Amino acid sequence: MSIVQDQVKKVIKNVFVAEKENTLQLSEILFTDTIKAVVPLTEKKINWNEISTKEKREKFISEISLQKDEENKIDGEYLLLIPGGVDAHVHFNTPGFEFREDIEHGSYAAACGGNTTIIDMPCTSLPPVTCKENLYNKLEAVKKRSLIDYAFFGGVRGNDFETGLDIKKQIYQLADAGVAGFKAYLISGMETFTDLTKKEMLQVAKWIYETGKPLLVHSEDKNLVLSRQKKLQLKKRNDWKAYCESRDVKAETEAVKTMIDITRKTKCKIHIVHLSSKEALELVRTAKNDGLSISAETCPHYLYFTQKDFENDVIRNYLKTAPPIKSTEDRGALWQGLKDGTISFITTDHAGCNPNLEKSSNNFWEIYGGIPGVEHRVQFLFSEGFLKGKLTLQKTIELLSCNSADYFKLRQKGSITTGKDADFALINLWSSEKIEADKMLSKGKYTPFEGITFNALVGDVYLSGKRIIKNKNQCQSELLGKFIKYNN
């Protein structure tokens, strides 16, 4: 019965689908679990300027001759329809540190935020996803608990070098099992997932190169950070400035240089996670121009805040993450990096906690570093990127969905074209919403974006042709999310 129903073709009418730059096409989408056709409803393409205000949009709608006899079609209400967001960097912590975040809360928050796929990090699970047995353990733990589709990164940790495990074999087996890439740290604060030395990183890159998958690296230089931290702590400094001094731009650039050197030597695809500074961005830009296999992502917090925001004691502790937020100049450069393609996509590095327990210390070193942002990413980029004229509509959607789906070979994702999974979200660009922690769906209800208004809303969300979110509510009794393998 359900198989037959799944194959019944559905139609969503009256949606704007983005095309090149800032043009759109009023369309209807025919779909089952995959997209069957994207049918234009008017001959003429529309420029965003023609519908950019509520009034212009009303006028546009009033001039369209509506067809009758369409009761069996879903009304898209003249909203923008985008491919479901792909957030390629989240910490949902199942199984493991679930007192901070878990797959149920995380995937629900992600879905309400317009995402239909996440890629979860290996380091905040217990056991961490460092071998195929641990991956299978994780797959079992998340089964029937996710509202949206998920892929996983494998991890390589220093602990396994110490105990003499066959890391090469672990990498190959994880690659065969379908992980989307491998995560490692040049500096880590986790006992259960320690960092690699530069020498180990080089060796690991050689092995990962053989798998064809990318190596994702937290890039801050350990020696620099720890030596400074020690000096600052001896001086009894435990304020936010001390933390930022210990992890400054140089800490990031030194690590990025290390990784550029490694990709030059090994040809391994290297991806710098959560890039935060102008100088590091320029290193990536030059390396890319030299033809090296290097890429980078950044996150909404680096694009919105500067260190001046640490002076605001309401959000100070919420804003702590690593690497720390930088300056106005760095922030501007990151926007430019998005625009010119140096930065490939936007992730959230979603990492929540119970703020009462772990975000309340007066000692900044002790505060948990992590921001839960998975539900704000899509509306953030439409509001602060597209609607403020920093990015085109096409670029905004690429940064939210297409580019990470491409990079991590999630071939059914990231595009509104025939044959792809019918994963999409409706976006209302004519309404606004004030961000309030109380309304958050993540387990940890806090955000540095508290009180900020975004001029974009996420509406209904569809996964594999089924509506999973309506009015921020889950509308399927079953959790339909499934494991998506990297597909070479």
Nearest distance from residue 101's CB to Zn ion, in Å?
A: 12
- Mapping DSSP to helix (H, G, I), strand (E, B) and coil, where does residue 421 land? strand
Task: Identify which of residues 122 and 414 has a Cβ nearer to Zn ion in the complex.
Answer: 122
Place of tokens 């620099």: 224
Question: Is residue 330 at the binding interface for Zn ion, with CB under 5 A as the rule?
Answer: no
Task: Identify which of residues 349 and 398 has a Cβ nearer to Zn ion in the complex.
Answer: 349
Nearest distance from residue 103's CB to Zn ion, in Å?
A: 16
Nearest distance from residue 450's CB to Zn ion, in Å?
A: 21
Task: Identify which of residues 369 and 459 has a Cβ nearer to Zn ion in the complex.
Answer: 369
Nearest distance from residue 62's CB to Zn ion, in Å?
A: 47
Q: Which residues contact 251 (CB under 8 A, 6 or more apart)?
A: 220, 221, 224, 225, 323
Nearest distance from residue 152's CB to Zn ion, in Å?
A: 14
Residue 158: name the closest of 109, 208, 194 by CA: 194
Q: How many C-beta atoms lie closer than 10 Å to residue 348's C-beta? A: 28
Q: How many C-beta atoms lie closer than 10 Å to residue 282's C-beta? A: 15
Q: Which of 33, 104, 160, 349 binds Zn ion (CB under 5 A)?
A: 349
For Zn ion, which stretch binds (CB under 5 A), given 69-77, 154-162, 343-351, 426-434? 343-351
The residue count for binding Zn ion (CB under 5 A) is: 1
Nearest distance from residue 117's CB to Zn ion, in Å?
A: 17
Helix axes 328-340 and 278-289, enclosed angle (nearest 10): 30
Phi, psi of 308 (to 5 degrees): -60, -30
Helix (H) or strand (E) run with residue 76 in it: strand 74-83
Task: Identify which of residues 79 and 303 has a Cβ nearer to Zn ion in the complex.
Answer: 303
For Zn ion, which stretch binds (CB under 5 A), given 62-70, 223-231, 249-257, 349-357? 349-357
Nearest distance from residue 184's CB to Zn ion, in Å?
A: 12
Q: Which residues contact 292 (CB under 8 A, 6 or more apart)?
A: 260, 263, 264
Nearest distance from residue 349's CB to Zn ion, in Å?
A: 4
Decide if 51 contacts 436 (C-beta within 8 A): no
String of DSSP letters for 358-372 = HS--SSGGGS---B-
Decide if 200 contacts 240 (C-beta within 8 A): no
Task: Identify which of residues 217 and 260 has a Cβ nearer to Zn ion in the complex.
Answer: 217
Task: Identify which of residues 113 and 122 has a Cβ nearer to Zn ion in the complex.
Answer: 122
Q: Which residues contact 289 (CB under 8 A, 6 or more apart)?
A: none
Place of tokens 């992590």: 370
Place of tokens 């993540």: 442
- Mapping DSSP to helix (H, G, I), strand (E, B) and coil, where does residue 152 land? strand
Task: Identify which of residues 323 and 465 has a Cβ nearer to Zn ion in the complex.
Answer: 323
In order of 135, 364, 419, the CA distances from 180 in angstroms are: 12, 34, 21
Task: Identify which of residues 16 and 193 has a Cβ nearer to Zn ion in the complex.
Answer: 193
Task: Identify which of residues 120 and 384 has a Cβ nearer to Zn ion in the complex.
Answer: 120
For Zn ion, which stretch binds (CB under 5 A), given 69-77, 342-350, 452-460, 467-475? 342-350
For Zn ion, which stretch binds (CB under 5 A), given 48-56, 129-137, 341-349, 391-399? 341-349
Q: What's the CA dihedral at 8, 14, 19, 23 to 10 degrees?
A: 180
Task: Identify which of residues 331 and 350 has a Cβ nearer to Zn ion in the complex.
Answer: 350
**Partners of 34 in beta bridges:** 421
Here the tokens at position 439 are: 């309304």
For Zn ion, which stretch binds (CB under 5 A), given 28-36, 191-199, 237-245, 344-352? 344-352
Here the tokens at position 397 are: 């959607």
Nearest distance from residue 247's CB to Zn ion, in Å?
A: 14
Nearest distance from residue 369's CB to Zn ion, in Å?
A: 10
Task: Identify which of residues 102 and 349 has a Cβ nearer to Zn ion in the complex.
Answer: 349
Task: Identify which of residues 123 and 142 has a Cβ nearer to Zn ion in the complex.
Answer: 123
Nearest distance from residue 89's CB to Zn ion, in Å?
A: 6
Give residue number: closest CB to Zn ion.
349
For Zn ion, which stretch binds (CB under 5 A), given 246-254, 348-356, 378-386, 434-442? 348-356
Q: What is the distance between the alpha carbons of residues 112 and 471, in angstroms, rounded to a whole number?
A: 9
Nearest distance from residue 322's CB to Zn ion, in Å?
A: 9
Task: Identify which of residues 349 and 375 has a Cβ nearer to Zn ion in the complex.
Answer: 349
Q: What burial class does residue 336 get, using C-beta atoms within 10 Å of its C-beta: 0-12 exposed, 13-18 middle, 19+ buried?
A: middle
Q: What is the distance between the alpha carbons of residues 467 and 168, in angstroms, rounded to a whole number?
A: 42
Residues 194-253 that bind Zn ion (CB under 5 A): none
Q: What is the distance between the alpha carbons of residues 269 and 285, in angstroms, rounded to a whole number?
A: 15
Nearest distance from residue 351's CB to Zn ion, in Å?
A: 6
Q: Which residues contact 246 (CB under 8 A, 6 or more apart)?
A: 225, 228, 229, 232
Q: What residues line the site for Zn ion (CB under 5 A)?
A: 349
